[in-house]
């Protein structure tokens, strides 16, 4: 659409009762007549829209009674142009949410890099909450004969699990969730005892394999002697393409995506990180002083890593160079990374403290979940951050400075020393968690959510989020792509005193552009949403 056509579309009659309309082509003013003007911070405006840098820019619309949606129907409409695969997570689109009360709504691009896997990558998430849910977990079943669901990842609208199946004659396998309690076997990439890492990359699902040492979880060692250390690609016909081995590795620790490239790391010695160059070629990317880099995640232009050799966090500098960006007190191992409210967080052993990055080499404790020894999986879901732990396989929700709320104990296997809540992913509006040693997967919903469980392609899109009666609906380019479970409308009063954030959310600032942001005080019909999408 050229500039003249776009300006004409802004002047067109609204599709329904319009609470606010921010064109975002020259400033953050509301042109609806309701004077809900925004305050722009570090935002660049042009005919292409408001550009957000993924770091510090945002628009804040001060809290107002006019923005108190309460229990009413409403529609969010926005033109979104996310940055192409770059050096940061997607970030928030719109959010008016009180984290202390868990009350409000959000619309975001969801990214979660959890322990070994890229669990969510550029998915869309529309959620509401009024302090409801989180304690009731549903048993999603045991994939195969898993004792350890090491990896969970969303790919092309499906949830996949990578398992450790250590019995003699068995091998690690990939499973696809069919429905609650039922998993479809996608096969074993090789003869190793574990599919240890998963990532969605350039339209395909990649899987890393491992000879996992169960003694590290105080379990009997596997009778399977076969090494892993290789990465495979799941082809469209269900076959596996061998994409090569990570040096001399016997176990893949992690897969993630950074600056449009697939990265991997080695779980055991010899330590190593690698970048995929196609075919079966991997380029070594070095280590920090020969130490293992295990989990990896992206934050504010850099690739970060955790490690099992020291209580440190690392940052990749390019080539084969890494630097230490923190040595955490009373910590000997670091586990998972998560970006929550613009800050990088890391989970640890042996006191389970979660730390928040304050810049340079400074890390601040964000509290200990219960009396657990190890915090592992970290994931952000519907406005809050969650962590899984050892030795009791518990899940906690982060509330505020230093305070965590215990939600559940997911694995009650008797007669074992350690139980893990290890892997997490957001799928079909729910938070999923994989465990050891039962190998079972569990899920819960906090509030009500609609998620589009596919990677958002680069380029301009029209996104609409609708609350209509007892259901949420999410639209992409005029087509409904997701809907929530039903709920009682009276259960969700979204009124709060927080500002409306444009271009920021529960994880980070948006990296990309927004234009023609509208808030309607009713649920627009599908035909009206399709008309808005066509106008873009």
pLDDT tens, 371-392? 999 999 999 999 999 999 999 9
Tokens representing 74 are: 């409403």
Tokens representing 258 are: 């950074």
> Nearest Cα to 183, choosing from 139, 215, 129, 227?
139
> Nearest Cα to 102, choosing from 394, 398, 489, 482?
398
pLDDT given for residue 84 in this prediction: 83
Which 8-state DSSP code applies to residue 436?
E
The CATH code that applies to domain 18-111+123-130+451-535 is: 2.60.120.200
CA distance 28 to 76: 16
* Predicted confidence (pLDDT) at residue 173 exceeds the cutoff of 60: yes
Q: Which fold has domain 329-446?
A: Neuraminidase (2.120.10)
pLDDT given for residue 5 in this prediction: 40
pLDDT given for residue 134 in this prediction: 86
Beta partners for residue 346, in sequence order: 337, 355
> Nearest Cα to 521, choosing from 20, 12, 3?
20
CA distance 349 to 330: 8
Q: How confident is the model at residue 536 (pLDDT cuts 50, 70, 90)?
A: confident
What is the average per-residue pLDDT within 1-16? 46
Bridge-based pairing of strands 461-468 and 446-452 is: unpaired
Q: 3-class DSSP state for residue 219? A: coil
Distances 249 to 229, 245, 288 between C-alpha atoms, Å: 5, 7, 17
pTM tops 0.95: yes
User: Does domain 147-285 correspond to CATH entry 3.40.50.300?
Assistant: no
Q: Do domains 18-111+123-130+451-535 and 147-285 have the same CATH topology?
A: no
Beta partners for residue 334, in sequence order: 348
Parse the chain into domains and list their residue ranges: 18-111+123-130+451-535, 147-285, 329-446
């Amino acid at each position: 659409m050229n500039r003249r056509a776009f300006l004409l579309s802004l002047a067109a009659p609204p599709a329904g009762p319009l609470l606010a309309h921010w064109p975002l082509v020259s400033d953050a003013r509301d042109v609806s007549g309701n004077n809900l003007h925004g305050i722009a911070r570090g935002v660049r405006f042009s005919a292409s829209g408001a550009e957000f840098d993924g770091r510090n820019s945002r628009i804040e619309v001060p809290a107002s009674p006019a923005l108190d949606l309460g229990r009413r129907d409403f529609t969010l409409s926005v033109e979104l142009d996310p940055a192409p695969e770059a050096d940061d997570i997607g970030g928030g689109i719109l959010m008016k949410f009180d984290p202390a009360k868990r009350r409000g709504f959000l619309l975001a691009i969801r990214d979660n890099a959890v322990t070994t896997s890229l669990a969510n990558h550029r998915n869309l998430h529309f959620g509401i909450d009024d302090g409801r849910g989180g304690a009731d977990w549903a048993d999603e079943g045991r994939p195969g004969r898993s004792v350890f669901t090491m990896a969970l990842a969303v790919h092309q609208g499906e949830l996949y699990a990578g398992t450790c199946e250590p019995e003699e004659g068995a091998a690690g396998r990939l499973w696809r969730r069919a429905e609650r309690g039922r998993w479809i076997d996608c096969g074993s990439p090789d003869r190793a005892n574990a599919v240890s890492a998963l990532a969605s990359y350039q339209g395909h699902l990649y899987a890393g394999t491992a000879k996992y040492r169960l003694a590290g979880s105080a379990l009997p060692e596997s009778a399977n002697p076969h090494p892993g250390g290789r990465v495979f690609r799941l082809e469209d016909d269900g076959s596996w393409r061998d994409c090569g081995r990570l040096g001399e590795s016997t176990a893949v620790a992690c897969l993630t995506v950074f600056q449009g490239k697939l990265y991997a790391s080695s779980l055991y010695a010899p330590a190593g990180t690698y970048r995929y160059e196609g075919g079966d070629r991997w380029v070594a990317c070095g280590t920090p002083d020969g130490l293992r880099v295990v989990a990896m995640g992206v934050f504010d232009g850099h690739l970060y890593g955790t490690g099992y050799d020291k209580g440190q966090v690392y940052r990749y500098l390019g080539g084969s160079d890494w630097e230490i960006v923190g040595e955490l007190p009373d910590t000997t191992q670091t586990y998972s990374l998560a970006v929550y409210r613009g800050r990088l967080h890391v989970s640890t052993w042996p006191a389970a403290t979660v730390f928040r990055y304050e810049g340079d080499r400074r890390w601040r404790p964000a509290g200990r979940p219960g009396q657990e020894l190890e915090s592992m999986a970290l994931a952000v879901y519907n406005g809050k951050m969650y962590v899984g732990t050892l030795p009791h396989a518990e899940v906690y929700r982060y509330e505020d400075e230093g305070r965590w709320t215990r939600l559940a104990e997911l694995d009650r296997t008797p007669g074992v020393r350690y139980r893990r809540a290890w892997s997490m992913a957001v799928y079909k509006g729910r938070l999923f968690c994989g465990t050891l040693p039962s190998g079972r997967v569990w899920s819960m919903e906090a509030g009500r959510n609609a998620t589009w469980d596919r990677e958002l392609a680069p380029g301009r899109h029209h996104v609409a989020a609708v609350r209509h009666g007892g259901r949420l609906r999410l639209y992409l380019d005029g087509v409904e792509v997701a809907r929530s479970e039903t709920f009682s409308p009276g259960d969700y009063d979204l009124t709060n005193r927080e500002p409306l954030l444009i271009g920021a959310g529960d994880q980070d600032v948006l990296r990309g552009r927004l234009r023609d942001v509208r808030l309607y005080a009713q649920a627009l019909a599908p035909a009206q949403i399709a008309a808005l999408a066509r106008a873009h």
